[in-house]
Amino acid sequence: MASLTSIPFTLPPSSLSQKQLFLHSFLPRKLAHSTKRGFKVRCAAVGNGLFTQTKPEVRRILPENNQGLPRVKIVYVVLEAQYQASLSAAVRALNADRRHASFEVVGYLVEELRDVETYESFCEDLKDANIFIGSLIFVEELALKVKDAVEKERDRMDAVLVFPSMPEVMRLNKLGSFSMSQLGQSKSPFFQLFKRRKQSAGFAESMLKLVRTLPKVLKYLPSDKAQDARLYILSLQFWLGGSPENLQNFVKMIAGSYVPELKGTKMEYEDPVLFLDSGIWHPLAPCMYDDVKEYLNWYGTRKDANEKLKSPNAPIIGLILQRSHIVTGDDSHYVAVIMELESRGAKVIPIFSGGLDFSGPTQRYLVDPVTGKPFVHAAVSLTGFALVGGPARQDHPRAIEALRKLDVPYIVALPLVFQTTEEWLISSLGLHPVQVALQVALPELDGGMEPIVFSGRDARTGKSHALHKRVEQLCTRAIRWADLKRKSKEEKKVAITVFSFPPDKGNVGTAAYLNVFASIFSVLQGLKKDGYDVEGLPDTPEALIEDVIHDKEAKFSSPNLNVAYKMSVREYQNLTPYASALEESWGKPPGNLNSDGEHLLVYGKQYGNVFIGVQPTFGYEGDPMRLLFSKSASPHHGFAAYYSFVEKIFQADAVLHFGTHGSLEFMPGKQVGMSDVCYPDSLIGNIPNIYYYAANNPSEATIAKRRSYANTISYLTPPAENAGLYKGLKQLSELISSYQSLKDTGRGPQIVSSIISTAKQCNLDKDVSLPEEGEELSVTERDLVVGKVYSKIMEIESRLLPCGLHIIGEPPSALEAVATLVNIAALDRPDEGISSLPGILAETVGRNIEDVYRGSDKGVLADVQLLREITEASRGSITAFVDRTTNKKGQVVDVAEKLSSILGFGLMEPWVQYLSKTKFIRADREKLRTLFEFLGECLKLVVADNELGSLKQALEGSYVEPGPGGDPIRNPKVLPTGKNIHALDPQSIPTAAAMESAKVVVERLLERQKLDNGGRFPETVALVLWGTDNIKTYGESLAQVLWMIGVRPVSDTFGRVNRVEPVSLEELGRPRIDVVVNCSGVFRDLFINQMNLLDRAVKMVAELDEPIDQNYVKKHAVEQAAELGVTVREAATRVFSNASGSYSSNVNLAVENSSWNDEKQLQDMYLSRKSFAFDCDAPGAGMTEKRKVFEMALSTADATFQNLDSSEISLTDVSHYFDSDPTNLVQGLRKDGRKPAAYVADTTTANAQVRTLAETVRLDARTKLLNPKWYEGMMKCGYEGVREIEKRLTNTVGWSATSGQVDNWVYEEANTTFIKDEEMLKRLMETNPNSFRKLVQTFLEASGRGYWDTSEENLERLRELYSEVEDKIEGIER
Partner 1 sequence: MATTSIQYLYKPLLHHHHHSFTTPDTSLQFFKHLTTTTTITTNSTTLKLFSSLSSSPTTTTSLTPSTNTSPFDTLAEHLAAANFRQADEETRRLLIELAGEAAQKRGYVFFSEVQFISAADLRAIDRLWRRHSGDRFGYSVQRRIWERKARRDFTGFFIRVGWMKKLDTEMEQYNYRAFPDEFIWELADNTPEGHLPLTNALRGTQLLANIFTHPAFEEEMEEEEGEEKEEVERKGEVKPKERPKFIKSFKQDYSF
List contacts with partner 1 (CB under 8 A): 1-6, 42, 44, 61, 85-86, 88-89, 92-93, 96, 243-244, 283-284, 302-309, 329, 332-333, 335-337, 339-340, 342-345, 421-422, 425-426, 458-461, 463, 465-466, 468-469, 471-472, 577, 581, 675-677
Return the number of other C-beta atoms located less than 10 Å from residue 901's C-beta: 12
Q: Which is nearer to partner 1, 168 or 647 (CB)?
A: 647
Q: For every residue of 680-708, which 3-state class applies, written as one string?
A: HHHHHCCCCEEEEEECCCHHHHHHHHHHH
Q: Which is nearer to partner 1, 609 or 682 (CB)?
A: 682
Residue 426 CB, shortest distance to partner 1, in Å, is 6
Q: Looking at beta carbons, which pairs linking 1323-1326 to residues 24 or more positions away fall under 8 Å? A: 1323/1275, 1324/1282, 1324/1285, 1325/1365, 1325/1368, 1326/553
Residue 353 CB, shortest distance to partner 1, in Å, is 22
Q: Which residues pair with 495 in a beta bridge?
A: 611, 655
Residue 940 neighbours by CB under 8 Å, 6+ apart: 892, 895, 896
Residue 647 CB, shortest distance to partner 1, in Å, is 15
Q: Which is nearer to partner 1, 685 or 1278 (CB)?
A: 685
Residue 1056 CB, shortest distance to partner 1, in Å, is 33
Q: Which is nearer to partner 1, 109 or 208 (CB)?
A: 109
Q: Which residues pair with 1251 in a beta bridge?
A: 1240
| Antiparallel, parallel or unpaired: β 1047-1051 and 1057-1062 | antiparallel
Q: Which is nearer to partner 1, 304 or 1066 (CB)?
A: 304
What CA–CA distance (Å, rounded) separates 841 from 847?
9
Handedness of CA 129, 130, 135, 140 (dihedral sign): positive
For 1041, counting Cβ atoms within 10 Å of its Cβ (0-12 exposed, 13-18 middle, 19+ buried), the class is buried
Residue 483 CB, shortest distance to partner 1, in Å, is 14
For 1333, counting Cβ atoms within 10 Å of its Cβ (0-12 exposed, 13-18 middle, 19+ buried), the class is buried
Q: For every residue of 187-204, which 3-state class applies, written as one string?
A: CCHHHHHHHHHHHCCCHH
What CA–CA distance (Å, rounded) separates 829 from 931?
10
Residue 410 CB, shortest distance to partner 1, in Å, is 23
Q: Which is nearer to partner 1, 10 or 595 (CB)?
A: 10
Q: Which is nearer to partner 1, 426 or 899 (CB)?
A: 426
Residue 185 CB, shortest distance to partner 1, in Å, is 41
Residue 54 CB, shortest distance to partner 1, in Å, is 11
Q: Which is nearer to partner 1, 460 or 766 (CB)?
A: 460
Q: Which residues pair with 1060 in a beta bridge?
A: 1049
Residue 93 CB, shortest distance to partner 1, in Å, is 8
Residue 308 CB, shortest distance to partner 1, in Å, is 5
Q: Which is nearer to partner 1, 2 or 928 (CB)?
A: 2
Residue 425 CB, shortest distance to partner 1, in Å, is 6
Q: Which is nearer to partner 1, 301 or 371 (CB)?
A: 301
Return the number of other C-beta atoms located less than 10 Å from residue 691's C-beta: 28
Q: Which is nearer to partner 1, 90 or 938 (CB)?
A: 90
What CA–CA distance (Å, rounded) separates 694 from 698?
8
What CA–CA distance (Å, rounded) separates 508 from 517?
9
| Antiparallel, parallel or unpaired: β 316-322 and 1057-1062 | unpaired
Q: Give, in order, the Cα–Cα distances in Å from 1353 to each of 796, 1309, 1350.
A: 32, 15, 8
Q: Which residues pair with 1050 in a beta bridge?
A: 1059
Q: Give, in order, the Cα–Cα distances in Å from 951 to each of 607, 956, 979, 1066.
A: 18, 9, 9, 56
Q: Which is nearer to partner 1, 343 or 848 (CB)?
A: 343
Residue 886 CB, shortest distance to partner 1, in Å, is 57
Return the number of other C-beta atoms located less than 10 Å from residue 32's C-beta: 7
What is the three-class DSSP state of 1074?
Answer: strand
By residue count, the chain amounts to 1374
The closest of 1154, 1144, 1137 to 1294, measured between CA atoms, is 1154
Please, what's the b/e burial string for 72-92 (b: 16 or more CB within 10 A of its CB; e: otherwise)? bbbbbbbbbbbbbbbbbbbbb
Q: Which is nearer to partner 1, 2 or 1315 (CB)?
A: 2
Q: For every residue of 720-774, which 3-state class applies, written as one string?
A: EEECCCCHHHHHHHHHHHHHHHHHHHCCHHHHHHHHHHHHHHCCHHHCCCCCCCC
Cβ atoms 1021, 1044 nearer than 8 A: yes
Residue 1354 CB, shortest distance to partner 1, in Å, is 51
What CA–CA distance (Å, rounded) separates 1331 from 504?
9
The closest of 1268, 1265, 1271, 1273 to 806, measured between CA atoms, is 1273
Handedness of CA 1359, 1365, 1366, 1367 (dihedral sign): positive
Q: Which is nearer to partner 1, 419 or 1313 (CB)?
A: 419
Q: Which is nearer to partner 1, 424 or 532 (CB)?
A: 424
Cβ atoms 1283, 659 nearer than 8 A: no
CA angle at 1013 for the pair 1011 and 1016, rounded to the nearest 5°: 90
Return the number of other C-beta atoms located less than 10 Å from residue 1053's C-beta: 16
Residue 466 CB, shortest distance to partner 1, in Å, is 4
Q: Which is nearer to partner 1, 173 or 420 (CB)?
A: 420
What secondary structure letter does DSSP report for 441? I
Residue 463 CB, shortest distance to partner 1, in Å, is 7
What CA–CA distance (Å, rounded) separates 949 from 955?
10
Q: Which is nearer to partner 1, 629 or 658 (CB)?
A: 629
Residue 96 CB, shortest distance to partner 1, in Å, is 8
Q: Which is nearer to partner 1, 107 or 718 (CB)?
A: 107
Q: Which residues pair with 74 in a beta bridge?
A: 105, 131
Residue 243 CB, shortest distance to partner 1, in Å, is 8
Residue 475 CB, shortest distance to partner 1, in Å, is 9
